[in-house]
Amino acid sequence: MMQNRSFFGSLPPITKNLIIINFLLWFATITLPRVGVDLVDLLGLHYFQSSKFNAVQLVTYMFMHDPNSISHVFFNMFSVFMFGRTLEAAWGSKRFLFYYITTGIGAGLVQEVFWYVLLHDQIAMVAANIGWEATQLQLNQLVTIGASGAVFGILLAFGMLFPNIPLYLMFIPVPIKAKYFVIGYGLIELFFGISGIQSSVAHFAHLGGMLFGLFLILYWKKKGIGNNGRFF
């Protein structure tokens, strides 16, 4: 007997639930401020010296997106849909979820290191001039949100597992092999991060997701863990 399956019903469970949860939380970020609850401020990743920092934010920040525009959450979840479902089918749900969360946490840690290197001396100087309490008010403004670090980890994994699959990109009529797409995207992020272009975007967090993804995949390869999801 043939069964009709809905769009979401055809998706593997982790991919499907990641998309649903991210959109539900995005909707919450635009509605809850009406009752005085700012989810971005509570669950977004703050600088570790900020009074608003909580270690749990290293996980929760990747489920927060810009409440002022749907494009942030849409494009991140579109990437999860396009590439995550293939990885989940290859690895299995538990291993895919472990990879997703690990690369997201790794991206957050890299962002914290970037902030520290960039701002440590400046923070010390400001604190000496105006006091630590006043400095805290400025530190509390530093916050990172979004699933992009985990998404870049997904892109890295897809490029390593399926390097020769052609990808057709918007405005580019010629297919690009996945491995070249990932390398090119990584180099662009590195350029943006070093140059300071698009300074409002956490480029080093994106690179952190790819870096932690690379370490994890190489570790699995060293341990002889294949692509059949038998990690757990």
Rounded to an integer, the average pLDDT of 150-165 is: 91
Amino acid at the residue 79: S
Domain count along the chain: 1
* 11 falls within a domain: no
Provide the pLDDT for residue 139. 81
Q: Does residue 229 lie within any of the structural domains?
A: no
Asked if residue 193 is part of any domain, the answer here is yes
Q: Is the dihedral of CA 168, 174, 177, 183 positive or negative?
A: negative
For 23-58, b/e burial (b = at least 16 CB within 10 A) is eebbebbeebeeeeeebbbbbbbbbbbbebbeeebb
Structure confidence at residue 3 as a pLDDT band (50, 70, 90): low
**Structural domain contains residue 192:** yes
Tell me, yes or no, whether 176 lies in a domain.
yes
Q: Dihedral sign, CA of 161, 163, 166, 172?
A: positive
Residue 75 pLDDT: 87
Residue 30 to residue 33: CA distance in whole angstroms: 7
- Structural domain for 40, as ranges: 17-222
Average pLDDT over residues 194-207: 67
Is residue 136 over pLDDT 90?
A: no
In a domain, 1, yes or no: no
User: Has residue 102 been placed in a domain?
Assistant: yes
Residue 106: inside a domain, yes or no? Answer: yes
For 104, the 3-state DSSP assignment is helix
Give the pLDDT band of residue 10 (cuts 50, 70, 90).
Answer: confident
